Homo-oligomer: A and B are copies of this chain.
């Protein structure tokens, strides 16, 4: 094999409601989402023999298997770096397992009470307050503690270099909210937002306004992956993994302190092969999903993945390009991390599948290819999904 391209499909998707207080355990959220995804595929738990997860997820695959009735696992794997490695990395790893015949059908998921609490500790390792070690030791003395603070520096540098303004970042937030307002499942449904609202929202870490920052969410989301051959017999028309990648390197400081001018980034490592593997170019992408933790990083991802050149993001995101139904390249069509729910990007995977099944609410007409980028400025992951027959 030259790559994982076209060796695996997404055949089922499922999620819980997204809220600020789920009222139940993270294990319950995981089993609900996974159970829904398995049923959506037309499978039952006995058909599942693999689970991939975000390392940071508190749920244990064996606990999930026991509670769902999955009798045995022949593959389990984890991807680190949270919303960077997890969203597409767990799907890539599942694809590898089925493509190599080591498993038949694998679930990738994310479930958490991120807003209401940290849930139960996982076996042998529990999330703790981050200690100040490694690279962080160099940043903390200068007051760089939170992701928003770190992203603010990169955003300001982008503004300085390229003339980008806060309102350009705001275009991204407004596009996501626009889509959320057509999605009754979105946490921000019924709460429209204008660019003026964005500009007027309070400052979190200058130049980041409140509305540049993602939600915090309780919920669960899951997808089921199998081979194209097996997918043929299942309930839905399969959605193909046209290509996928993980990327990182020595420039990643494990915090989202992004070097705006770096020639190589976590995203360019993936961009170098992702489109070639899929046999398409950026111009072939019909619907765009970019992990929207903070709007400036969305713009930088769009640039790094070659949808426009460095510094041209401010123009690219304008003129309603990212808004369904009239925009050329609708972004995060269910509302994204910013306005749908912050499932660390897994919700974008589900919406991308719906787009390529033709069942999305903000359905992009004749969508053949969806591009999905996970969180950048940390080691990251991305993939291109293809409509069956495209």
**Residue contact A78 to B80, C-beta cutoff 8 Å:** yes
A74 to chain B, nearest CB (A): 6
Instruction: Say yes or no for A108: interface residue by CB 8 A criterion.
Output: no
Task: Please determine whether A250 and B60 come into contact, CB atoms closer than 8 angstroms.
Answer: no
Q: Is the CB of A1 within 8 A of B101?
A: yes
Judged by a CB distance under 8 angstroms, whether A124 is at the interface is yes
Which of A69, A120, A246 has the most chain B CB atoms closer than 10 A to its own CB?
Answer: A246
- Quick one: given A77-B78, A102-B4, are A61 and B125 in contact (CB under 8 Å)? no
Contact of A130 among B92, B124, B249 (CB under 8 A): B124
Per the CB 8 Å criterion, the residue count for chain A at the interface is 66
Set B62, B74, B93, B250: member contacting A269, Cβ < 8 A? B74
- Nearest to A253 among chain B residues (CB) is B62
Asked whether A76 lies within 8 Å of B79 as measured between CB atoms, the reply is yes
Assess the B73–A246 pair: CB atoms within 8 A.
Answer: yes
CB-CB under 8 A from A69, the residues of chain B are 250
Q: Which residue of B lies closest to A66 (CB)?
A: B250
Whether A319 is near chain B, meaning CB under 8 Å from some CB there, is no
Q: How far is the CB of A349 from chain B (nearest CB, A)?
A: 18
CB distance from A256 to the nearest CB of B (A): 12
- Mask, A336-372, CB within 8 Å of B = 1, is 0000000000000000000000000000000000000
Determine if B65 and A249 form an interchain contact, defined as CB atoms under 8 angstroms apart. yes
